[in-house]
């Protein structure tokens, strides 16, 4: 598949790229950041997909997390897509920070006008890996996924629904029970409609009852996160994983908030966690 290279920078012996490619899934140009570690010069490397949170683009994690150092150390490619299609001129597309642009929520929309383009679940789980694996030295048998907030929700959903496609999953401050949170309910109503049965397939806590995923799950959550009780609800996921027999390690990090300072503090742990699984 072809792509337009927007930016290329040497970084920790590898290359940090930003690019655009035409997506058949969204019907738009999608922007993606790709860190190619130095080990990729010798052959295919594992790939770790990072899903960002509300209002973010492919640049936030790339610029702020400091992940390249750890990816180079472990020989892992990191792929960070944008969080939604862009510039479609849909009614209300840019009216709010938590719906529309920058807020694709990693679902396949069912309601018009969103259903023709806002298909981020299929994009992230199918088209994006296919694009990466045909364009870069990526090992198609060794994929992991992680994310933050809305993207943490997306990472857990992608892994729980596709245990055969991913070897590892982790999250920073994920929206654990979106069918109960204001962010999730607004997005699901807008993209999926009023039938709450359609919402369940995008709620990680509810998916614990169906998934065959039994590999370790790592979640970091700051105790000073302003969204902890209202939006994120990690205790819901903890209880559900315990009931389902899913080995979740929920680390409550004292004094940390929802920002990228929090992510940068623990991203090394997460990449090491994924490296252990991806290289096993």
**231/22 Cα distance (integer angstroms):** 33
Contact 244, 208 (CB under 8 A): yes
Please give the angle made by the CA atoms of 224, 226 and 230, to the nearest 5 degrees: 120
> Does the annotation count 149 as an active-site position?
yes
Backbone angles phi, psi at 65, to 5 degrees: -85, -25
Annotated active-site residue in 84, 225, 270, 274: 225
Annotated active-site residue in 153, 258, 270, 274: 258
Contact 156, 142 (CB under 8 A): no
> Does the annotation count 225 as an active-site position?
yes
The Cβ-side half-sphere exposure at 234, using a 13 Å CA radius, reads 24
Annotated active-site residue in 149, 168, 170, 181: 149
CA distances to 4, 23, 87, 114 from 117, rounded to whole Å, are 20, 10, 11, 6
> Does the annotation count 258 as an active-site position?
yes
Q: Catalytic positions, please?
A: 149, 225, 258
């Amino acid at each position: 598949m072809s792509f337009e290279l927007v930016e290329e920078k040497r970084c920790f012996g590898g290359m940090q790229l930003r690019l655009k490619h035409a997506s058949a899934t969204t019907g738009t140009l999608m922007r993606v950041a790709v860190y190619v570690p130095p080990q990729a010069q010798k052959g295919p490397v594992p790939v770790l997909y990072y899903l960002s949170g509300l209002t973010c683009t492919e640049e936030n994690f790339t610029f702020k997390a400091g992940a390249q150092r750890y990816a180079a150390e472990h020989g892992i490619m990191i792929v960070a897509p944008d969080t939604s299609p862009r510039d479609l001129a849909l009614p209300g597309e840019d009216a709010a920070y938590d719906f529309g642009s920058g807020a694709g929520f990693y679902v396949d929309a069912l309601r018009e006008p969103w259903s023709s383009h806002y298909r981020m679940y299929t994009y992230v789980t199918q088209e994006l890996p296919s694009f990466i694996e045909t364009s870069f030295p990526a090992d198609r048998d060794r994929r992991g996924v992680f994310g933050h907030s809305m993207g943490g929700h997306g990472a857990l959903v992608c892994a729980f629904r596709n245990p055969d496609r991913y070897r590892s999953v982790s999250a920073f401050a994920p929206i654990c029970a979106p069918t109960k949170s204001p962010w999730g309910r607004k997005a699901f109503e807008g993209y999926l409609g009023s039938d709450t049965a359609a919402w369940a397939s995008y709620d990680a806590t509810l998916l614990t009852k169906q998934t065959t995923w039994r590999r370790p799950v790592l979640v970091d959550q700051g105790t000073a996160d302003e969204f902890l009780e209202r939006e994120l609800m990690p205790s819901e996921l903890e209880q559900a994983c315990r009931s389902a027999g899913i080995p979740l390690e929920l680390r409550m990090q004292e004094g940390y908030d929802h920002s990228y300072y929090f992510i940068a503090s623990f991203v090394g742990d997460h990449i090491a966690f994924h490296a252990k699984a991806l290289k096993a």
